[in-house]
């Protein structure tokens, strides 16, 4: 049993490293056996609730459209769907999209895709675009921020404390607003900004 656990841990780490390097096939493999990030935990639901609260209180009560980059299995989508008339969830994993679609969130649709692909479509624009806990898997943070700006009127990203040093420089300046949320398990930064 110990050997199986060790092998699974190695397999997960190997695929996480490749996903962080921009390999969408690795992200798809991670979802073969269910939620690889344990997003259905109380700590993650706390993050979902707090992110939705910040959106309501600091950005706006309701949106015509939200694009959720890296929606995974749609766990956070349920929280975001309450804030919009229409929400679109994108994820590079077909396995994750299949499970997200099975949640039957009335105003949500899901598709395999990513931010880069969305940014190349000239007529794609959403009132709010979120990229929660996904920037780590993008090769160029500055490019990711610019791509968010191409498809959004307002943008929101979250990242955990361990990534502050890497990501904070990308979101420095008076146009960016941030708030810290934390519980006993973790601390996250929520950064949001609007197009001028």
For the chain, 196 residues long, give each residue's pLDDT as a single digit of tens.
788 788 888 898 899 889 888 888 998 999 998 888 889 999 999 999 999 999 999 998 799 999 999 999 999 999 999 999 999 999 999 999 999 999 999 999 999 999 999 888 878 899 999 999 999 988 899 999 999 999 999 999 999 999 999 999 999 999 999 999 999 989 999 999 998 5
Q: What is the pTM of this model?
A: 0.94
First to last CA, the chain: 56
Helices and strands per DSSP (H, E), number in the chain: 8, 7
Q: Give the model's pLDDT for residue 30.
A: 92
CATH number of 37-194: 3.40.50.150
Helix or strand run (H / E) with residue 103:
none
Query: Measured between alpha carbons, how far is 36 from 14 in angstroms, rounded to an integer?
Result: 13
Domain regions of the chain by residue span = 37-194
By the 10 Å C-beta count (0-12 exposed, 13-18 middle, 19+ buried), 3 is classed as exposed
Is residue 195 a contact partner of residue 170, using CB atoms and an 8 Å limit? no
């Amino acid at each position: 049993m110990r050997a199986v656990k060790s092998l699974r841990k190695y397999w997960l780490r190997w695929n996480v490293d490749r996903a962080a390097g921009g390999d969408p096939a690795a992200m798809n493999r991670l979802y073969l056996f269910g939620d690889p990030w344990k997003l259905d935990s109380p700590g993650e639901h706390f993050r979902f609730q707090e992110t939705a609260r910040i959106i309501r209180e600091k950005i706006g009560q309701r949106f015509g459209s939200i694009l959720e980059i890296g929606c995974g299995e749609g766990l956070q989508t349920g929280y975001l769907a309450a804030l919009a008339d229409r929400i679109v969830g994108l994820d590079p994993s077909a396995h994750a999209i299949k499970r997200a679609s099975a949640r039957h969130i009335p105003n949500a649709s899901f598709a395999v895709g990513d931010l880069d692909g969305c940014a190349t479509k000239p007529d794609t624009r959403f009132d709010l675009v979120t990229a929660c806990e996904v920037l780590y898997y993008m090769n160029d943070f500055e490019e990711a921020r610019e791509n968010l700006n191409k498809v959004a009127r307002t943008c929101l990203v979250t990242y955990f404390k361990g990534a502050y040093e890497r990501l904070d420089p990308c979101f420095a300046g008076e146009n960016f607003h941030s708030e810290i949320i934390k519980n006993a398990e973790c601390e996250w930064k929520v950064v949001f900004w609007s197009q001028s």
